[in-house]
Amino acid sequence: MREVMTKTMARNVFYGGSLFFIVVFLILSAHSVRYVVTQSTAHAELTDSVARGKHVWEKHACINCHTLMGEGAYFAPELQNVMARWGVDDDPETAFEIMKAWMESQPTGIEGRRQMPQFNLSDDELRDLTDFFIWVNGIDAQGWPPNEAG
């Protein structure tokens, strides 16, 4: 191998090749950003309420129990399609009612059942969170998840 490739050659291949792949990756990234904005998330306007709902989702660290689009902890159900699972993805008012009832009943305290904390969300926060999930439900994710179970 020593005759085939010297250390200097190996180093140059490493630097040159890496630079090439970084450039390709950045070009594809730029295209992907455009695709997200103009196609996969163009289904509905990203309202202030959706943005605020994302913040509600974040400040309570929901991702550390649930998954969202398959990413997160695997302790609690997938939530990208939760609105579809509840059958309310086109009915924000009912979605809000169910969400409110659900969040208020936590934690159930049932023995041997995984517990969700009580987050004491205000009605405004609940509405924002609901809007966020309805918006997320509409993202075109190449057909994932495979079914309603998420």
Least distance in Å: CB of 77 to another protein?
4
What is the C-alpha separation between 148 and 72, in angstroms, rounded? 18
Spatial separation of the C-alpha atoms in residues 150 and 148, rounded to whole Å: 5
> Shortest gap between Cβ of 55 and another protein (angstroms)?
7
Site for another protein in 64-93 (CB under 8 A): 64-65, 67-78
Alpha-carbon torsion angle 28, 41, 146, 101, nearest 10: 140
What are the residues whose beta carbons fall under 8 Å from the beta carbon of 137, sequence distance 6 or more?
A: 80, 81, 82, 83, 84, 89
Q: Is 57 in the site for another protein (CB under 8 A)?
A: yes
Q: Decide: is 28 part of the binding site for another protein (CB under 8 A).
A: yes
Size of the site for another protein (CB under 8 A): 73
Contact residues for 144 (Cβ-Cβ < 8 A; gap 6+): 69, 70
- Taking the least distance from each CB to another protein, the nearer of 93 and 146 is 146
For 8-85, where are the E strands, in sequence order?
A: 67-68, 71-72
User: Which residue lies nearer to another protein by CB, 98 or 139?
Assistant: 139
Q: Does 103 engage in binding with another protein (CB under 8 A)? A: no
Taking the complex as a whole, how short is the minimal distance between the CB of residue 91 and another protein, in angstroms? 21
Residue of 27, 30, 59, 102 interacting with another protein (CB under 8 A): 59
Among 134, 63, 135, 61, which Cα is nearest to 94's?
134
Name residues contacting another protein, limited to 3-22 (CB under 8 A): 5-7, 10-11, 13-14, 17-18, 21-22
